[in-house]
């Protein structure tokens, strides 16, 4: 995805309709979706290769150019003439989002294109130290694609993580999954309840964690809880609550991408799951203090932890 931003200020209401008039001061574009996950990995000092579909259009060329400039490999990013690049444009006035405009669809890809995609993926996974399945519900992350990734990762014995959107996927063997609270309840098929101030006393949430361990069969589960931090759920062990590290929150867009990128990169580098989760929590605290889709550098992370 390509995230576009129009930044400005509001001084009056339009005479044509009861809407604010935004005086534009700046326009910018940054990688979004799984491309933002890759940007986060690279910003933290890792090497990343993106796998997905991009349209053969102006937005696709702009997105590819941004990734190449940052050093992200496009080895498994396939160009498609059948589908446009997903674009999300946010108009922000005085640090407040006024409106978001999306150009997107849930695409149906041909068997030929998916077969080529899976072949590319298997080669990329064989050269990787970790794999992130970042699903945004646009049709790329289908079960045959997931199966190909898990087979290749099992051969290489590298950790696979999942940021879920399609809750029907079979993902046996992943290292961990990072649903937020709403996604966790939806994936477990349980009506969402009011959050408890103490996640370890939230019986409904703890039950959802157990259900997802049985459903997805991950080694661990990380449920992100916004201002309440994270709940780490294990097999045969008591859950662990990691409190939130954010000091100021300007924009939460893309924070989940930072969490899964940081945690997976840390695991690939030899950290324990608790260490990886805590680093991810600190990194999320950095990016929510920035405006728009953002990343975190090692220097920012260390300064923030101090």
Write out the catalytic residue numbers: 257
Distance of alpha carbon 44 from alpha carbon 152, whole angstroms = 25
With helix as H, strand as E and coil as C, how does 165-199 read?
A: CCCCCCCCCCCEECCEHHHHHHHHCCCCCCCCCCH
Q: Which two tokens stand for residue 105?
A: 């669809």
Distance of alpha carbon 295 from alpha carbon 253, whole angstroms = 11
């Amino acid at each position: 995805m390509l995230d576009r931003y129009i930044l400005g200020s509001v001084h009056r209401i339009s005479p044509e309709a009861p809407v604010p008039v935004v005086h534009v001061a700046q326009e910018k574009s940054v990688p979004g979706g799984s491309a933002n996950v890759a940007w986060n990995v690279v910003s933290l000092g890792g090497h990343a290769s993106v796998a997905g579909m991009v349209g053969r259009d102006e937005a696709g060329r702009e997105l590819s150019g941004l990734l190449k400039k940052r050093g992200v490999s496009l080895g498994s990013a396939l160009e498609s003439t059948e589908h446009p690049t997903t674009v999300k444009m946010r108009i922000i006035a005085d640090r407040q989002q006024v409106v978001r405009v999306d150009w997107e669809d849930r695409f149906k890809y041909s068997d030929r294109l998916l077969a080529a995609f899976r072949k590319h993926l298997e080669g990329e996974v064989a050269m990787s130290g970790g794999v992130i399945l970042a699903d945004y519900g646009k049709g790329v992350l289908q079960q045959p694609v997931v199966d190909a990734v898990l087979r290749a990762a099992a051969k290489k014995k590298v950790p696979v993580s999942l940021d879920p959107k399609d809750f029907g996927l079979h993902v046996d063997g992943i290292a961990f999954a990072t649903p937020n609270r709403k996604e966790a309840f939806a994936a477990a098929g349980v009506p969402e309840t009011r959050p408890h101030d103490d996640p370890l006393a939230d019986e409904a949430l703890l039950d959802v964690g157990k259900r997802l361990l049985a459903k997805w069969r991950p080694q661990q589960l990380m449920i992100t809880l916004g201002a309440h931090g994270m709940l780490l759920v294990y097999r045969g062990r008591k859950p662990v609550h990691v409190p939130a590290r954010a000091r100021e929150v300007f924009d939460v867009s893309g924070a989940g991408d930072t969490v899964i990128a940081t945690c997976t990169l840390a695991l690939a580098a030899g950290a324990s799951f608790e260490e990886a989760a805590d680093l991810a929590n600190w990194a999320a605290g950095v990016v929510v203090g920035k405006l728009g889709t953002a990343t975190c550098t090692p220097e920012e992370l260390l300064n923030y932890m101090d």
